[in-house]
Amino acid sequence: MPANPSRKEAKKKAVPKAKPQPKPVDDYVYPIIRCKYCTQGSKNPLIKIEAREDRGDLHSRWVQKLQLVIKSDLSVQKAMNVAKSFADAYVPNDSPIKMQKTAQTQIAEDGPKPAKGDDADECDDDDDAPVAADPGSTAAPPPAAAAPPAAAAPNMTSESKAKAIANYASHYNRDPKDVTIEVIQASAEGATYWATVGMDTSARSSTGQAMTRALKHKPDVKAMYGLMLDSFKGEFRKAWSVSKDFEFVRTVKTTENTYRKKREDVGTYKTHLQITQILGGTDQPAAVQQAQHYIDMCNRADLKVRAEKVEISKAMRCYAVETGTRLVDVSEDDVRNSELGVQGYAALFERTPAALPKPGGDGSAAKGGKKRASPEESGVGGGPGGEEPPATVEENGNKKKPRGNGGSNLASKKEKEVKELLAQEQSSDNAMSMITIEMGKGDAASWAWASGFVKNYKDCRVQVLQAYAENPFFQAMKVAVLSAKELQKVKKDYKDQYLPKLCDFVSTLGPRILAMQEASSQISLMSVAKANASASLVAQPEKKTKTQRIKRAASSASITSA
């Protein structure tokens, strides 16, 4: 039959292919287990954990063990970190085939997709995933770039690598030539441990002093380091000593928006028995061992990121202040089991000035010995908040006072200098105001000698006012020195930068204010001297002297004659 001309044939439109987009996180692949990022349906992302059906056969098919559905406040990176911990615990440490890889795969953008079921998993389930070579084969190992990004080990210097290899070989009685840095990094202790064995990394050591000098150029890292507990600071110094830089610290500003609708979205807590049942049951020794490996991996302190350590340090400091206990007696479990928890006390830290770090350390990195007695036990101290200063010690009849806190003494000294400079500035302004009034009353030509001093004063005054306008701290200190309350507010706002700012104030404005004071005082002294000199040159009229006449002496004879 001829085609109906009134009926238009529908032309098939070509659907453009969606551009491939990299996954938000890389896959984490072992020879016998792998963690993959997938999408379920159209919106729900998840992390799928698959393992070989036969652990001894690297060519057996993959079987799903667990999947993490990403909802609510659980981010993709957090879910992948949990999956990585599970995978690391699944593979024993003594396994000769422990070799992780990062599979670089891509996902497509949201667009036209082939028809699938609602619960279809849009992930590559192919069995041709990269696997590790058999120990007996001669295949080359994967390149160093294939290491998982979760390893936050610092970049080691050549000296640190050589020392780590020597310590590792000496401990296990092996030839250093047969030990590589990859073997050391894959060990349970890590490369940082072997590179710092026997090294003094205390705060007063040469390494600690060198790191303190380097922190002056990293204010953000210095602020983070100051909030850490002493035990975390020791780990930080070891990490710096092997790299001699702060590249292992990464500053990231993140914003998380959470929308919670149901209580179930928060997640569930799994006990040791429940994890064992998920992995195969208590009747399977391998499942029991894997569950214990998983718990140990989650509790390892060296796997915590620096941001989490800072948050724990804040929470423990605030918890010690709120409960009235010593910081050295507070444990991480006490804070976690409290009503507010770690996040609650960490948020309360900013509003608790008493929880700020104090000079002298907190004692969390002490290596045993007798603990320092509390004020109540020793009978020293007048109440909470501090101890009384120790009495002077007499030796051979000479009294010696204990050393005070050098930082606070220096700050007090600089505050006095700032007050003196501001007083000199005010006195010079008052003196110049009086001089200006005198200039207006008299002849301008008579003040021509003071033009140079006035110019110097004006130049210095303009520089001082410009410094006040450019630096908010200088302007705030003009008000702060008049009130103790305002001074405490300025100290709280600037914290560790308060003392450097004070030194900057003295070094920047000090010479200019002194020049103003000198110019005004010279004008005042010279004007007074000129006035005295001109007054002495004025001729005064001579006093009139009376002519002395001869006094007439009266006699008795004249009286009688009269």
Higher pLDDT, 42 or 67: 67
Cα–Cα separations (whole angstroms), residue 268 to 78, 189, 264, 343: 15, 31, 8, 18
Residue 355 CB partners (closer than 8 Å, separation 6+):
314, 317, 318, 320, 321, 349
Average pLDDT in the 330-352 region? Answer: 82
| Angle ∠(316,317,319) on CA atoms, nearest 5 | 60
pLDDT top residue among 260 and 100: 260
Residue ending a domain, among 139, 161, 185, is 139
Q: 295 with 304: CB under 8 angstroms?
A: no
- Say if residues 479 and 486 touch (Cβ distance below 8 Å): yes
For residue 334, what pLDDT is reported?
85
Asked if residue 490 belongs to a domain, the reply is yes
Last residue of a domain, one of 113, 139, 165: 139
Q: What per-residue string of b and e applies to 224-263 under the rule 16 or more CB within 10 Å gives b?
A: bbebbbbebbbbbbbbbbbbbebebbeeeeeeeeeeeeee
Query: Is residue 207 within 8 Å of residue 241, measured between CB atoms?
Result: yes
Q: How confident is the model at residue 470 (pLDDT cuts 50, 70, 90)?
A: confident
- Angle between helix axes 272-279 and 285-299 (nearest 10 degrees) is 130
pLDDT, position 242:
85
Cβ neighbour number for residue 524 with a 10 Å cutoff: 18
Give the residue-averaged pLDDT of 71-88. 80
Q: Does pLDDT of 29 surpass 80?
A: yes
Domain-embedded: residue 322: no
The C-alpha atoms of residue 461 and residue 424 are separated, in whole angstroms, by: 12
The helix/strand count (H/E) of the chain reads as: 19, 10
d(CA 101, CA 147): 6
* pLDDT bracket for residue 445 (50, 70, 90): confident
Q: Residue 74 falls within a domain, yes or no?
A: yes
pLDDT at residue 87 in the model: 85
Lookup: tokens for 455? 């110019």
pLDDT of residue 538: 57
pLDDT for res 141: 37
Residue 273 predicted with pLDDT over 80 = yes
Report pLDDT digits (tens) over 286-336. 888 888 888 887 776 655 666 777 888 888 888 888 888 888 888 888 888
> How many domains in the chain?
2
Q: Which pLDDT does position 119 carry in this prediction?
A: 44
**Does residue 112 register a pLDDT over 80?**
no
Q: Which long-range contacts (CB under 8 A, 24 or more apart) does 347-351 make?
A: 348/318, 348/322, 349/314, 349/315, 349/317, 349/318
Whether the per-residue pLDDT at 52 is higher than 70: the answer is: yes
pLDDT class of 524 with cuts at 50, 70, 90: confident
Q: How sure is the predictor about 403, in pLDDT bands with cuts at 50, 70 and 90? A: low
**Higher pLDDT residue, 264 or 204?**
204
Q: Is residue 288 part of a domain?
A: no
Query: How far is the C-alpha of 392 from the C-alpha of 296, rounded, in Å?
Result: 51
- Token pair recorded at residue 63: 């079987």
Residue 246 covered by a domain: no
Does residue 63 have a pLDDT over 70?
yes
Lowest average pLDDT, out of 87-96, 180-189, 199-208, 497-506, goes to 87-96
Q: Left, alpha or beta for 383 (phi > 0: left; psi -120 to 50: alpha)?
A: left
Q: Are 259 and 72 in contact (CB under 8 A)?
A: yes
DSSP string, 466-478: HHHHH-HHHHHHH
pLDDT of residue 190: 83
Using DSSP's 3-state secondary structure scheme, residue 54 falls into coil
Q: Over 60: is that where the pLDDT of 367 sits? A: no
Separation CA 76–CA 37 (nearest Å): 9
**Mean pLDDT across the stretch 19-25?**
71
Q: Where is the domain boundary, 139, 170, 202?
A: 139
> Could you give the percent of the chain with pLDDT greater than 90?
0
C-alpha to C-alpha distance for 139 and 421, rounded to whole angstroms? 75
Highest mean pLDDT among 195-204, 378-387, 442-451, 537-546: 195-204
Residues forming beta bridges with residue 69, ordered by sequence position = 46
pLDDT at 557: 54
Residue in 25, 151, 33 with CA at minimum distance from that of residue 88? 33
Give the DSSP letter string of 248-302.
T-------------SGGGG-----HHHHHHHHT-TT-HHHHHHHHHHHHHHH-GG
By residue range, what is the domain housing residue 446?
411-532
**Angstrom distance (rounded) from CA 240 to CA 247:** 9
121: confidence class by pLDDT, cuts 50, 70, 90: very low
Is 46 within the bounds of a domain? Answer: yes
Averaged pLDDT score across all residues of the chain: 72
| Between 269 and 197, residue with greater pLDDT | 197
* Whether the predicted pLDDT of 222 surpasses 60: yes
Query: Has residue 273 been placed in a domain?
Result: no
Q: What is the predicted pLDDT for the residue at 466?
A: 86
Q: Is the pLDDT of residue 548 over 50?
A: yes
What is the pLDDT averaged over residues 117-132?
Answer: 45
* Spatial distance between the Cα atoms of 371 and 496, rounded to a whole number of angstroms: 29
| CA–CA gap between residue 477 and residue 487 (Å, rounded) | 8
58 inside domain? yes
476: its two tokens: 């705030």
pLDDT at 18: 56
Question: Which ranges constitute the DSSP H helices of 105-175?
Answer: 158-172
Lowest mean pLDDT among 110-124, 165-179, 316-330: 110-124
Assess whether pLDDT exceeds 50 at residue 34.
yes
State the pLDDT at residue 366: 57
Cα(68)–Cα(80) distance, integer angstroms: 9
| pLDDT tens-place string over residues 131-169 | 443 433 333 333 333 333 343 556 788 888 888 888 898
